[in-house]
Amino acid sequence: MRVFSPLLINTPDIELWPGGLLRARGNHDARALSRARHVLRRKRDGRYLAADLPEGVLPLVHRLFHEPGIDAALDALDHAGLRHHRLLHVGVDRVGTLPLARLCERLDALGIDDDYGQRSGLALVAEPDWLAFAGVDRYRRPLWLHVDAARGWTHLRAAALRDGVVLEAISGYRSHDYQLGIFERKFARGLTLEEILNVNAAPGYSEHHSGLALDIGAPGEPPAEESFEQTPAFAWLQSNAGGHGFVMSYPRDNPHGIVYEPWHWRWQPAR
């Protein structure tokens, strides 16, 4: 079994990023990040909270130990070495999921109740407690996926390249907080909840939360546009993606009421 390294270790409020993958936002951060084994990053806004240095945890914000979720993040940090050891020496580590209680409270505040799931046929999706590094996306950002989807994406992209087709990842895993941020920004632009739900799955209902889905593009093509279906990349995916475990989630007239998304593909384990 191929092991993907490094890993993103996930907690409800804070992500633990491996050192070397995040860009510094100032001289102080640059010095800390250059030596960090892990960086604690707040999920709701991407703020760097602390650097895990060989000599201990260095706070990058005032009152670090009052941050929501910091205890869970530090507990995960304590166990990070054990997780890496299991993956490196045993080759396996179970992917668990994070609790949904915090998300449900925030959905209530948005006015999204259980009826949304029943109407759309979509289920709440828990976030994995760790994700594998699957290279970088079109924008040179780290691409995080469930370890099985990461392996599948690597094989899918390599197979396409052998046939002369270049596939680009546009995005992979997205946290609940990321999806909530989309809604907040669109509310600020004056859109209604109904208008947003016509285009975006409600926070917690997106397949991206699982790390099993990714948006795929082709060089020179705009991201996440229906025009992707006219590309050789899409034609290749239609013929070959299924053999690598990927399916298109939202074809035309899909039962979930989500707009046609020829760019959105999900890794589906063999049954």
Q: Which residues fall within 8 angstroms of residue 129, CB to CB, at 6 or more apart?
A: 9, 10, 11, 95, 96, 97, 98
> Do 153 and 80 belong together in one domain?
no
Exposed/middle/buried for residue 108 (C-beta within 10 Å: 0-12, 13-18, 19+): exposed
Amino acid at 32: A
> Do 151 and 195 belong together in one domain?
yes
Q: How many CA atoms lie within 13 A of 9 on its CB side?
A: 21
The answer to whether residues 233 and 225 touch, using CB atoms and an 8 Å cutoff, is no
> Do 159 and 233 belong together in one domain?
yes
Note the pLDDT of residue 75.
95
- Any alpha helices (H) in the chain, and if so which ranges? 27-35, 70-89, 101-110, 114-120, 147-162, 176-188, 193-197, 232-240
Lowest mean pLDDT among 6-15, 81-90, 248-257: 81-90
> Do 150 and 203 belong together in one domain?
yes
Average confidence (pLDDT) over 58-80: 95
Note the pLDDT of residue 4.
46
Read off the pTM.
Answer: 0.92
pLDDT band at residue 1 under the 50/70/90 scheme:
very low
Q: What is the pLDDT of residues 123-159, one digit of tens each?
A: 999 999 999 999 999 999 999 999 999 999 999 999 9
- Domain limits for position 207: 101-126+145-267
The C-alpha atoms of residue 235 and residue 142 are separated, in whole angstroms, by 26
φ/ψ region of 121 (left if φ > 0, alpha if ψ in -120 to 50, else beta) reads left
> Do 48 and 105 belong together in one domain?
no
The answer to whether residues 40 and 77 touch, using CB atoms and an 8 Å cutoff, is yes
Q: What is the pLDDT of residues 39-48, one digit of tens each?
A: 999 999 999 9
> Do 84 and 192 belong together in one domain?
no
Q: What is the pLDDT of residues 240-265, one digit of tens each?
A: 999 999 999 999 999 988 889 999 99
> Do 40 and 109 belong together in one domain?
no
> Closest by alpha carbon to 126, among 45, 10, 16?
10
> Do 242 and 182 belong together in one domain?
yes
Domain with 263 in it: what CATH number?
3.30.1380.10
Which has more confidence, 119 or 67? Answer: 67
- Find residue 169's DSSP bridge partners: 216
> Do 106 and 234 belong together in one domain?
yes
The tally of domains found in the chain comes to: 2
